[in-house]
Structure 1
Amino acid sequence: MRSASDGGTRPGNVLTTSAGWGALGALLLVALNLRAPITSLPPVVDQVAAGLGLSSAGAGLLTSVPVLCFALFTPTAAVLVGRLGPERTILLALLGVLGGTLLRSTGSVPTALAGTAVLGLGITLGNVAVPVVIARDFQRRAAAVTGAYTATMNVGSTFTTLLTVPLAVVFGWQWALAGWGLLAVAALAVWVPTGRALAARHAGAPPSATAAPTAGALGAQRRLVVLLAFAFAGQASGYYAMTAWLPAILADRLGIDAAAAGGAAAPFQLAAVAGAFLVPIGMVGRLSARTVATGLSVMWLSLPVGLLVAPGAWWLWVCLAGAAQGGNFTVIFTLIAQRSPSVATARRASAVVQTAGYACAATAPTVLGAVHEATGGWTAPLLVVAVLLAIMAVTLWVASARPRTPSSLWVHDTPPD
């Protein structure tokens, strides 16, 4: 069974109506919940480990389970979106985030692990369903909406990273983590009526009259998906590896204490908000997707290369890479939204790209830690990150070229290179 809202129709751009702006606001509230519960844990992970009697490995497992869920359950999430429609899937995602957040905070090891898994499953559903809504309802503004979506996720991450420790000091780590469930409650209150309205709108949509894509168009779509899968694997692996190890790298290479290194690494997350918004501005300014992607790739690569050759300018490399990692996420999923000939195709493409990317990302921090331990320094690990980002840069450069397939087979095209 395929949901009416996941068919081949392209209803256009709903931002031309007040209801469309309301739908965008609801979608951004959903986005607040798709990273914030994950980033709320690391600042208090030592307190959680002490409270639950966990070893360092056990505490690390709590932080890695959500990314493993992204890798393992994205295909299942894509099937659910196809059967239930993205509106009901997002509802399930928010319920999973809320339930997992509360269960994780109950104070026992089994419930902490189970809650973290439920939380990861909920976010996985949202990761797949939200891009489908963007591709279907905001396709003409895909870059801007994807940028806003990415930036909102980073805003949520920033809030939980900065505020969880002060909340834990006052209320304890359990209440501090559970309290972020209020974000899911707020999103549910807005999404329930919005999702119903969107589902009703698309349930009455007429069948698509668009001609079936030619073999050439389908072949181009497959090549695009493979290229973006490699690009997102490099992007996600670099992001999670540097998120895990950047404070330690800065502490060792700059000779500063752990607290100062943690503050020095913060712009890597904060600058992503600016990067996510710069991408649609660049595209509206008639820069091609390839031009934007190339500039972002150079900025991203400046972090490992800069820390190797000019560590004294670390603040510049951290800020440039932070903006780039937020921007590249936007570029990759904008390309999926713009160049998929149908909503169902966009859903499948997003699932493949995310499965490949998060499977690599789930192992990246461990691999980088193992290389550091084996070599006794950070030169080799930084070279590993540089190689991952170079693969990302090359594949994204190829993928972002203006498609040669006749434009009638593509729902949107980027400006020519």
Structure 2
Amino acid sequence: MSAAAESISPLLIDKDYELNRWLFVTALFMASLNLRPIVSSIAPVLISIQHDLGLSGAVSSLLVSIPVLCMGILAPFSVKLSDTLGIEQVITFSLVLIGGSTLLRLFIHSASLLFFTTLLSGMGIAMMGPLLSGFIKKHMADRAPSMIAIYSMALALGAAIGSSFTSPLHWMLHSWQMSLSFWVIPVILALPLWFLVLKRQPSSSQLNSAVSYGKSLELPWQKGRAWILAVQFGMLSLVFYSLLGWLPLILIGAGASKLHAGLMVTLFALIQIPSGTVVQQLLKRHPSRQNWLIVSSMMQAAGLLLIYFSTYLWLAVFICGLGSGMLFALLNLLPVELTTSPEEAASWAAMTQCIGFLIGASGPLLTGYLHDRMEHFNAGILAMVFISIAMGILTLTMRSEENLKILSK
């Protein structure tokens, strides 16, 4: 090889590496963006759906509960499927499933078809969610905190735009079917990126991720650390989905007007968008994961306590939303950092989300039950306060020799 060729070759390699890096980051962001709009877009048009399809309140609540239950029940199966097909292939297929079910909502004229699309989208979300952790571990493990920040930001942004823009779309299009199917557009934007990701995979990765790493994927049912993360994620999900379902009425019960309650709910969603970036910057200054888990849990508890005492509601929602977003980012970072391979990271994330979302799905129901029995939300809010404090206490049990360096590094 000539001297000129030798000098150019490293430049080409660096350029190709840089191109792959930006492709993977953009693909991760766009995939994460599609995990929530199909769920968060339901509430703004729920009254129209109930009117047109004749659904009761209890039945229509399943439009949110079904995807959450799918995320819990089907998460472990995504790991097994990626064992056969590969992480990137399953993520791409999941996007196709989410996009197809979203587009199908354009033709809904019966409750059965609406629930069918909800089930399909829930399956796609359930399969893709855990594997994004494996994707980060595989391609961007050296930048895990920043990648989790991007993942968290995209997830919160997807939830926020789904809940914020569906109602104006309904007003402009005069059709809840069209406003719900509008959210196929982010999928259409994401799919070409993932087809490029597939094309740029080495042949070994295209065949079988298990072959590439020489082992079959197993969920870490026997690992105590994985159970601690799963229970913590469940506690976070229980509080988050309880607030997602009941926060407007909780704030009204605390003395806020309907207008201010609606604005505070928007604040709760928006403040979670930069929370992953906040965590990333905080870890640069003080890298102890354990300490920030405790701080975030106490922030969430403090915000809920202020709501309980009906005081400083705007500050309460801000603190609670930021604490919740930081907890989500940290609990998604740890499965990546506490594992040694992309497949192991995906299996930890799958177990965490399986247990977590099953616990989380019960939150809105329990909060509603306590409200029906006592005719106020005080008991439910106190329960969420104690759960938040318990999350911080549970973090103290994670100081084994194996993960001490990760939690306190």
The alignment's TM-score, normalised by the length of structure 1, stands at 0.87
Name 1:49's counterpart in structure 2.
50
Match status 1:342 vs 2:344: no
Q: Deviations over 1:380-408 (max 9, x none)?
A: 11111112222222223433x4x52399x
- Among 184, 188, 191, the alignment partner of 1:185 is 188
The answer for the alignment partner of 1:115 in structure 2 is 117
Contact 1:247–1:265 (CA<8 Å) still a contact in 2? yes
Provide the residue aligned with 1:291 in structure 2: 291
Q: Does residue 160 in structure 1 map to residue 158 in structure 2? A: no
CA distance in structure 1 between the aligned counterparts of 2:119 and 2:59, rounded to whole angstroms: 14
Q: CA deviation at 1:226?
A: 1.1
In 2 relative to 1, CA 15–66 (structure 1 residues): closer, same or farther, beyond 3 Å? Answer: farther
The CA distance in 1 between the partners of 2:350 and 2:278, in whole Å, is 25
| Letter aligned with residue 128 of structure 2 | G
Cα distance in structure 2, aligned partners of 1:157 and 1:229:
22
- CA offsets 1:32-83 (integer angstroms, 9 cap, x no match): 1011111111111111111222111221111211101111111112211222
CA distance in structure 2 between the aligned counterparts of 1:151 and 1:190, rounded to whole angstroms: 19
1:132 counterpart residue number: 134
Measured after TM superposition, the shift of residue 291 of structure 1 is 1.9
Is 1:281 aligned to 2:281, yes or no?
yes
Other-structure match for 1:325: 324
Q: Per-residue deviation at 1:104?
A: 3.1
Tell me which residue corresponds to 2:387.
388
CA contact (8 A) 1:103 1:114 kept: no
Question: 1:197 offset after TM fit, Å?
Answer: 1.3
Q: Distance in 2 between matches of 1:235 and 1:362?
A: 11
Q: CA RMSD in A?
A: 2.4
The code of the aligned residue for 2:345 comes to A
Amino acid paired to 1:267? L
Does 1:176 pair with 2:176? no
Q: Contact conserved, 1:69 with 1:121, CA < 8 A, in 2? A: yes
- Rounded to whole Å, the distance in 1 between the matches of 2:289 and 2:303 is 22
Aligned ranges 1:177-216 → 2 under 5 Å = 177-198=180-201, 200=203, 202=205
| Counterpart residue identity of residue 248, structure 1 | L
TM-score by length of 2: 0.89
Mapped to 1, the partners of 2:314 and 2:396 lie a distance apart of 27
Letter in 2 for 1:177: L
Equivalent residue letter for 1:31: S
Structure 1: which 5+ residue stretches go unaligned?
Answer: 1-13, 211-217
Note the alpha carbon deviations across 1:217-245, whole angstroms, 9 max, x for none: x99x8121011011101111110001111
Deviation at 1:144, TM superposition (A): 0.9
8 Å contact kept, 1:104–1:116: no
Are the equivalent residues in 1 in contact too, given 2:144–2:337 (CA < 8 A)? yes
Residues 74 and 176 of structure 1: CA distance in aligned 2, closer, same or farther (over 3 Å) = same
Aligned to 2:406: 413
Aligned partner letter, 2:134: V
CA distance in 2, matches of 1:179, 1:318: 30
- Counterpart in the other structure of 1:308: 308
Identity over aligned residues, as a percent? 24
Distance 1:141 1:163, change over 3 A: same
- Could you say if the C-alpha distance between residues 415 and 147 of structure 1 is closer, same or farther in structure 2, counting changes exceeding 3 Å? same
* CA displacement at 1:415 relative to structure 2: 4.5
Q: Secondary structure at the match of 2:257?
A: coil
Asked if 1:268 corresponds to 2:265, the answer is: no
Q: CA deviation at 1:278?
A: 0.9
Which residue identity is paired with 2:361?
A: A
Instruction: Give the C-alpha shift of residue 209 in structure 1.
Output: 9.9
Residue 198 of structure 1 aligns to a residue in which SS? Answer: coil
Question: Do the aligned partners of residues 55 and 105 (structure 1) sit closer, same or farther apart at CA in structure 2, a change above 3 Å counting?
Answer: farther
The reply to whether residue 243 of structure 1 matches residue 240 of structure 2 is no
Asked whether the equivalents of residues 134 and 337 of structure 1 are also in contact (C-alpha less than 8 Å), the reply is yes
